[in-house]
Structure 1
Amino acid sequence: MSKYLWIDCDPGVDDAATILLAHQSQKFQPIGISTVAGNATHRHTFDNARRLVHLIPADTPVYPGAEKPLIRELTTAPYVHGVDSLGGIQLPASESEKTTESKKAWDALYEALCRYGDDLEVLAIGPLTNIAIALAKYPDFAQRLKRLIIMGGAAKGGNYTPAAEFNIYVDPEAAEKVFMSGIPIFMFGLDVTLQSYLTEEDLDALENQSSPQAKFMVDCLQLSKEFAKTKNLKGVPLHDVCTLLYLEKPKLFSFKKAWVRVETGGEITRGKTVTDLYSDKQMEPKNTQVALVVRREDFAQLFLEMMNRYSKGSLCKHIYI
């Protein structure tokens, strides 16, 4: 195993799926998870991450991060993820909840970058507050990070507002700092994540898997399934999972390099990722690889294959039945 993985997240149903899949990767070793307020308050996202690690089970450290956006009030999404942010599913408490990692998210991530360098891949699948704080605290952070793979934004329309995708809307100032930092960014926005869904047949296949982790995921996705129906979607999108499956199989996705900035001042366009795919201006620098197309059937197949490794491996533990 030649590469290491860090996940900055706000679990979150699709964050949960990403964490579970990451621990069945045959290409990457998860070495740290950091949490941020977003889908729910930080108390919930931090506890959820630790309980997910317990469910796997693994010993991946979980580091607490930002409890609120840089300057704005926190916006959460209980109508999508449930009040506790895991679709209303209560995971058993873990022993690790009695103690807390002494390092903050941005400090732990920076130390990991210093140690692993280009061998470390970083997924940022929640609001970008922790990354922005790291940039502010460590002047060489951007130079040390070879790229940042994010779930957030949209070249076209938003989901939380007509203009903005939720993760970017929550903390647009943080997102703008990240996009302006010079870090090469791979952006998995709504343009591609809404194509990256599980059908009823896919969900049935997941339900037929025998592991406690698969059972948890089926239960966890029920609220997302109902929400998807209200939006007349073709299936249940796994937004955050795109970032991990890209690392597993890059050819699943097609990209276009583009200039991207984040709107922080607009009253009705707050959080919009202004993306120059085809304007006459052709703005520079083209700082972002924007994912636009996914091979959906292959995406779903890989998701199911990786989840099924829990049924075949030695990691299973009957803590969720």
Structure 2
Amino acid sequence: MTTTRRRVILDTDIGSNVDDALALAVLLGSPEAELVGCTTVYGDTLVRARLAARLLRLAGRRAAVVPGERETLAGRPVWWAGHEDTLFPDLEAESVAAAVDAPGFLAGRVAAAPGQVDVVAIGPLTNIARAIQLDPAFPRRVRHLWIMGGRFDGGAPEHNFASDPEAARVVFASRTPTTVTGLEVTSTVRFGAAEAAAVEAGGELGRALAAQMRRWWRFKNTDATPPHDAIALLAMLAPEAFTFSAYGSIAVADDGAATFTPQREPGSGSVRLVTAVDVAAVTAQIIRRVLAAAPEHRHDRLHPHG
């Protein structure tokens, strides 16, 4: 791990698949990272923001949580599972920065500390595209953009890119320095009953995460699913557990299908892919960091961030 703390904004569609919540917990349990803020995207972003705020509170932490873009740039209908707030019937009690513009928050925090803020985008890329449109200097000012999205093995298009392919095209055309972890890589890691039991040991936060894991499995009629977003986050925090491509470019079709082209000449590419993960190491890292996020396990090793 590095000794320099990364300042991170998490952009998320938390609430549908459990992997966003796991990613947030991993970030909170990582002493080398400081959560600058959290922006939510896609659909009822107020509900998503309140859920993020609740998980922060269960972790004994504070950070700005900003509801973001509800609609997509592409005008696609929003897919909504319907269970996003069912485990927390009193979410309306959570305070979020509803009056703040999420793309403006992203652009402003990056502009205030050029080269010092990483953005981790684990939902459709609408907020990121809007931030780039708002501030054309965003691609030069952000330290690095880390994306969970796309699929590069020829399979069916991945949800985040397919939900807003126009936003994805804006982001990749901007030449922002970016690392993308695609579905074909994240799907090599599976979380099931053993991992849920391990996470559940993490106090109130762990129990909430385990309940969300099991709810997602019931919804998908399965007993295990990949922690996609947590894996993409770990590509930033634990790069030694990952293999990366050379830099190149990504094109996104109208249906969200993504293709990666390696750079044709040195310095011509702005995007790289994660091409492989150490499954055992990544699984262990996710569980260890989720447990470290729980107040019962921190022992004052971590500190709240405002």
TM class by shorter-chain length? 0.7 to 0.9
Q: Secondary structure at the match of 1:237?
A: coil
Residue 297 in structure 1 maps to residue 280 in structure 2 = yes
The residue that corresponds to 2:84 in the other structure is: 85
Unpaired stretches in structure 1, ≥5 consecutive residues: 265-269, 316-321
Per-residue deviation at 1:224?
A: 2.9
Give the 3 Å change call, closer, same or farther, for CA 77–275 of structure 1 in structure 2: farther
2:227 to 238, 246, 249: 238
**Offset of 1:277 from its aligned partner?**
6.1
In structure 2, the partner of 1:128 is 125
Question: What's the offset of the Cα at 1:287?
Answer: 3.2
* Residues 200-233 of structure 1: CA deviation (Å, up to 9, x unaligned): 33233223x1511111111110133345665xx8
| Alignment partner, residue 253 of structure 2 | 263
Q: Hey, what does 1:34 align to over in structure 2?
A: 39
* In structure 2, distance between residues paired with 1:203 and 1:290: 28
In the TM superposition, what is the alpha-carbon distance from 1:96 to its structure 2 partner?
Answer: 4.2
- The one-letter code sitting in structure 2 at the alignment partner of 1:119 is Q
**Paired AA for residue 244 in structure 1:** L
Partner letter of residue 273 of structure 1?
Answer: A
Compute the displacement of 1:54 (Å): 2.3
Find the partner of 1:205 among 193, 198, 213: 198
Number of the residue aligned with 2:238: 249
Q: Normalising to structure 1: TM-score of the pair?
A: 0.82
Task: Indicate the residue corresponding to 1:223 in structure 2.
Answer: 215
Q: Distance in 2 between matches of 1:89 and 1:95?
A: 14
Q: Residues 77, 102 of structure 1: CA spacing in aligned structure 2 closer, same or farther, 3 A cutoff?
A: closer
Structure 1 residues 147 and 92, CA, compared in 2 at 3 Å: closer, same or farther?
same
**Residues 253, 291 of structure 1: 8 Å contact kept:** yes
CA contact (8 A) 1:191 1:291 kept: no
Partner in structure 2 of residue 275 of structure 1:
260
Deviation at 1:242, TM superposition (A): 1.3
Q: CA RMSD in A?
A: 2.5
User: What residue number does 1:214 align with?
Assistant: 206
Identify the residue that residue 58 of structure 1 maps to in structure 2.
61
Deviation at 1:237, TM superposition (A): 0.4
- Asked if 1 retains the 8 angstrom alpha-carbon contact of 2:117 and 2:144, the reply is no
Q: Give, as a single letter, the amino acid of the residue that structure 2 aligns with 1:84.
A: H
| Pairwise CA distance, 1:95 | 4.6
CA contact (8 A) 1:152 1:187 kept: yes
CA-CA distance at 1:184 after TM superposition: 1.5
Match of 2:8 in 1: 5
Report deviation, 1:48.
Answer: 1.8
**Following the alignment from structure 1 to structure 2, what is the Cα–Cα distance between the partners of residues 236 and 115?**
38
1:263/1:271 contact within 8 Å kept:
yes
Shift of 1:176: 0.5
CA distance, structure 1, for counterparts of residue 187 and residue 270 of structure 2: 23
Q: Does the CA-based 8 Å contact 1:260-1:287 persist in structure 2?
A: no
Question: How far off is 1:307 after superposition?
Answer: 1.9
Alignment pair present for 1:18 and 2:1: no
Looking at structure 2, the residues matched to 58 and 139 of structure 1 have their Cα atoms a distance apart, in angstroms, of 32
**Partner of residue 303, structure 2:** none
Distance of aligned partners of 1:291 and 1:93 in 2 relative to their CA distance in 1, 3 Å threshold: same
1:91 to 1:250, Cα distance in 2 relative to 1, 3 A: farther
What SS does structure 2 have at the residue aligned with 1:148?
Answer: strand
Report the CA distance between 1:306 and its aligned residue.
1.2
1:306 aligns with 2:289: yes
When residues 178 and 72 of structure 1 are mapped into structure 2, their CA distance, relative to the original with a 3 A threshold, is same
Q: One-letter code of the match for 1:220?
A: Q
1:186 corresponds to 2:189: no
Equivalent residue, structure 2, for 1:318: none
1:150 to 147, 172, 175: 147
Instruction: Provide the identity percentage.
Output: 25
How many equivalent residue pairs? 291
What is the distance in 2 between the residues matched to 1:253 and 1:307? 19
Q: Distance in 1 between matches of 2:124 and 2:198?
A: 31
Deviations 1:52-78, CA, capped at 9 Å, x for gaps: 222223220111211100131332141
1:49 and 1:21, CA in 2 relative to 1: closer, same or farther beyond 3 A?
same
Q: CA deviation at 1:50?
A: 2.3
Change (3 A) 1:291 1:77: farther
- 1:156 aligns to what SS in structure 2? coil
1:319 — aligned with what?
none
Query: How far apart are the structure 2 equivalents of 1:122 and 1:246?
Result: 13
Contact persistence 1:3–1:28 (CA under 8 A): yes
Q: 2:245 aligns to what SS in structure 1?
A: strand
Residues 248-293 of structure 1: CA deviation (Å, up to 9, x unaligned): 21111111134311112xxxxx111122369xx99x9433211121
* TM-score calculated relative to the size of structure 2: 0.86
